[in-house]
Amino acid sequence: MNKLVLLAAGAWCAVKLVLLSTVSFQWVIQGGVMANLLILIVLGSVAGMKAHPDLGFVTRLKSVLQPVMMYAVLAAGLSGLFYYQVAIEQTAFQQLEREQAIITQFGDPTNFEAWQAEDPATREYLDLEETKQKALDQVETMFSPWIQVSLHLTGLLFAGLLTALFTTILTAWLRL
């Protein structure tokens, strides 16, 4: 594996650990996203500058995509480890907060009726308990480690593809 990719993954881990001990969990999440985007740009730019200028666009794009996609896969796996091993208490607290919000919203029949009155599309949900249980099941599904890693992977691969396209075009333009 590319040493720069491993160094970038280590930098992401360091950023997350420093943020975890200094700021709120929401800032840890946002800091991780920003670190990932910055790392993707740096990896793409370095790979783009290393690519031989005489190569065709597709060949240069492939050489930029390789470290960017390697990092995307590695970072998605590391995010799963981070949120479900290192910061498991904070992640569980986030899930509990969302579940409590649902219980509060649907715990009182008057809140449920007010919610239905605001949005006519919700009138199909006639049963309060069934609606509450569906909402709680959705939260549980969204906080599943496999779902979270899959979402991270999808987002990072898409961001990596866009970054690779951008840096391939930009580095070719800068060499003109």
pTM across the whole model = 0.84
* Tens digit of each residue's pLDDT (9 = 90 or more) over 28-49: 999 999 999 999 999 999 998 8
Closest CA to 132 of 171, 105, 96: 105
* Tens digit of each residue's pLDDT (9 = 90 or more) over 78-136: 999 999 999 999 999 999 999 999 888 877 788 777 777 777 776 665 677 888 888 89
For position 24, what pLDDT does the model report? 92
For position 125, what pLDDT does the model report? 59
- Residue identified by tokens 């999808």 is 154
Cα 148 from Cα 171, distance rounded (Å): 33
Q: Is pLDDT at 52 greater than 90 in this prediction?
A: no
Averaged pLDDT for residues 126-154: 89
For position 109, what pLDDT does the model report? 80
Contact present, 21 and 87 (Cβ < 8 Å): no
For position 50, what pLDDT does the model report? 87
For position 104, what pLDDT does the model report? 85
Cα 149 from Cα 131, distance rounded (Å): 27
- Which residue ranges make up each domain of the chain? 3-174
